[in-house]
Amino acid sequence: MSEAPAILVDGEAGRLTIGDWSCACVIGKSGLIAAADKREGDGASPIGDWPVRAALLRPGRIDAAQAPAIPWRWVRPDDGWSDDPADPAYNRPVHLPRHTSHELLARADQAYDVIIVLGHNDAPPTPGMGSAIFFHQWVIGENGQPKATEGCVAIAPDDMRTVLGLLRPGTTLRLR
């Protein structure tokens, strides 16, 4: 097996690079922020080196043949991710319905057809320091351009298919 690649994200330039392969990317609508200053709901992407933990794939939208060489599973209709700092499951996957604030992972748009779970604020999670910082697919806005995220990193769906084939255990996403 080949060495784990580093995913380099130049947030200001809007470029994601793995080795000699590169593509456009978008980050949080509020730009970049030091990880220590990241707060829930600020719309900023945290600067740092974030280990790639796993992939969540949407059945019917991604083929099993495209599954990466990292831990992965299918997204289920009742999958969510807690973004409520008062929830004991903050910044963790949860089952829906749930009475606390959360993100729905089986979204109608294509954003979460592929979710690469990053190791931001997860060992253990500190309430309010940012949740659901994922690497996922972008969504095109009404202006025909990719929409900024709520703090994640996103790329085009075709580019995500390429990235899935490059992921290995030990891969890190470096956001600068």
pLDDT in tens, the chain (176 residues): 567 889 999 999 999 999 999 999 999 999 999 999 999 999 999 999 999 999 999 999 999 999 999 999 999 999 999 999 999 999 999 999 999 999 999 999 999 999 999 999 999 999 999 999 999 999 999 999 999 999 999 999 999 999 999 999 999 999 99
Interatomic CA distance for residues 16 and 127, integer angstroms: 29
Contact 26, 148 (CB under 8 A): yes
pLDDT of residue 2: 63
pTM score of the predicted model: 0.96
pLDDT of residue 160: 98
DSSP H or E segment with residue 135? strand 134-137
* End-to-end Cα, the chain, rounded Å: 28
Q: Where are the alpha helices (DSSP H) in 21-132?
A: none
DSSP E strand boundaries for 60-171? 72-74, 79-82, 93-95, 102-104, 114-118, 134-137, 153-155
Pairing relationship of beta strands 93-95 and 32-34 according to DSSP bridges: unpaired
Contact 106, 75 (CB under 8 A): yes
CA contacts within 13 A on the Cβ side of 162: 15
pLDDT of residue 3: 79
